[in-house]
Amino acid sequence: MKRIKYITEASFSFALIIAANSMAEWHPFVPNAESGLPHLLMELISPLTYCLTWILCMFIGFFAPASAKGPVAFGALGLIYANMAIVLFRQCGFEIPIEANVAGTIANNIGAPLLYLLWEQYFASEDDDQCIADILVGRGLPVLLFALLGLISSSSQTMGLRAVILLVAAVALTRCYRSMDWSAPMYAERPLDHRRTYLNVMVLSWKSALCIGSLAFLYTVLRSAFTSSNSTLNGILTYAPLLGMLAASLAIMALWQRRSFSFNVIQVFRSLFPFLLCLFAAIPLFATALPQITYGIAYGIFSLLVSIGMVQCCQTCKRDGVSPLFMFGFYFGIVNVIQLLGYGFSSILKTYAFFGQSHGFVIALSAMFVTSLVFYLVRGDLDSKTTAFTNAEFIALSHVPDSDSCLIVSTNSRDASSNPYWDRLAKQCANTAARFRLTAREAEVLELLARGNTVPAIAESLVISTGTVQTHCKRLYAKMGIHKKQELIDIVRSSTDYVKDRSPQKPPKPR
């Protein structure tokens, strides 16, 4: 079994940031509570700023992919501290102008996503396995940390502790950024020179972002309805999402130890769609009586898709040489736009009555409409290209005997029931990919190299830059322990014995 570190400086610091932001969002000293602004305005300022920050980062990633480095974390931290200072002054009895309250809210909702995005950019630079481990652990630990932090009852002490936690996380972030390779294509190349690559990534990614956004809409409306109907649910609304994140992380990590598999957000969403419809139908009946269960299920599914989406974005950045700022900004920008619609709808739901219907009925109806609309937009069969390169790949950490390596190939990206091999060389390349735990993109580059293609030809075929192809070649050579292309070809040709032979397949018809 390949050994990786689970509790690292990166994963623990990422968990600290999630726990600290959960404290700010649900603790009674949240600035929205006593701002004095119109209700609808304050409801939308936070999510609107949060959404626009992700979209702005997408444009920054396209025009200046290497601009967000370690020191930016302290700028984001300063924005959060500014908001905390305004809240502290208000708690001390000082009269704070409405403009200052608004400015503090905006500053906080710019700083928080910046810290998230900086960590996600670091995860994208890590080794594939360490990247997955840091994301899963970082999203699973916050519930344990928050349980310890919840023992503090004083809001001023909580605020001070949150300030210290964020400072520690920012320092850890700058330390981690020192080990990043800024010469990698995802940072060093100009996206303007590779518009086709970025357009291709957007075309392949927007549907899966819509699927996550529909779940964000659901849990946002549920949360708003619960807080308006029962003021004692603050603790439930904090622990339900954190427990959902923990459950999703544990489920993926347990499966990852022994099995190689690929998660596709669209396919998972389609599989869960009938269950979601049943959940929506149960909301009018059980949402009032069992809010923690309803909200926990909704956020648990959302957290599962977010974890898969984060891994997918990191692997896309490495696979296609795309700026992490752009990829995460585009992907989660779409998610937050749909979530913003959820905030707007929930604000209207609090203010107006819908023909005398209960909140549960209106929530179920709206969630069913949004989810069904997204299901319609992502309809149709996924072609092999979309399936292979929008998957989040999890290659088993445990050692698999050579004779069973074919199971890895079939579960990663190719269906064993179809005819996955064009010829003998294709099968040998698949065997080699299974033996050395190569990703789908690395396996594709391996086969093209074995067939004698040059780096520029591979770049043209895969719609990526030559620098990205060279990076894949370096990873191939490192995983296979070789230094020359001829050694790669020799390993491929001698790889027949590593897999059980399937029934003979007819060669493909000439094109």
Calculate the alpha carbon distances from 34 to 28, 161, 228, 277, 491 in Å: 10, 22, 16, 37, 68
Per-residue pLDDT at 503:
39
Task: Answer yes or no: do 40 and 117 share one domain.
Answer: yes
Task: Give the residue among 70, 34, 12, 62 at the shortest CA–CA distance from 330.
Answer: 62
Task: Answer yes or no: do 327 and 445 share one domain.
Answer: no
Residue 339 falls inside a structural domain: yes
Residue 1 falls inside a structural domain: no
Q: Which residues contact 280 (CB under 8 A, 6 or more apart)?
A: 364, 367, 368, 371
Residue 2 falls inside a structural domain: no
Per-residue pLDDT at 25:
54
Task: Answer yes or no: do 326 and 192 share one domain.
Answer: yes
Range of the domain at 456: 400-498
Task: Answer yes or no: do 310 and 415 share one domain.
Answer: no
Residue 301 falls inside a structural domain: yes
Is 438 exposed, middle or buried, given 0-12, 13-18 or 19+ CB atoms closer than 10 A? buried
Per-residue pLDDT at 11:
92
**What CATH number is associated with residue 255?**
1.20.1250.20
Residue 4 falls inside a structural domain: no
Task: Answer yes or no: do 18 and 94 share one domain.
Answer: yes
Task: Give the residue among 223, 215, 123, 136 at the shortest CA–CA distance from 173.
Answer: 123
Neighbours of 36 (CB within 10 A): 9
Residue 150 falls inside a structural domain: yes
Task: Answer yes or no: do 421 and 370 share one domain.
Answer: no
Do 315 and 307 meet the contact criterion of CB atoms below 8 Å apart?
no
Per-residue pLDDT at 279:
84
Per-residue pLDDT at 228:
57
Pairing of β 261-263 and β 392-394: antiparallel
Q: Give 445's Cβ-side CA count (13 Å radius).
A: 26
Residue 467 falls inside a structural domain: yes
List per-block mean pLDDT (blocks of 10 residues) for the chain, which spans 511 residues.
Answer: 78 90 55 49 82 94 84 90 88 82 89 93 91 92 81 74 90 91 86 89 91 90 67 59 83 86 87 89 72 75 89 91 93 94 83 70 88 90 66 76 38 43 81 85 88 88 87 87 87 66 41 34
**What CATH number is associated with residue 454?**
1.10.10.10
Residue 503 falls inside a structural domain: no
Task: Answer yes or no: do 483 and 378 share one domain.
Answer: no
> Could you give the maximum distance between any two Cα atoms of the chain, in Å?
81
Task: Answer yes or no: do 404 and 380 share one domain.
Answer: no
Task: Answer yes or no: do 429 and 347 share one domain.
Answer: no
Provide the domain count of the chain: 2
Per-residue pLDDT at 169:
92
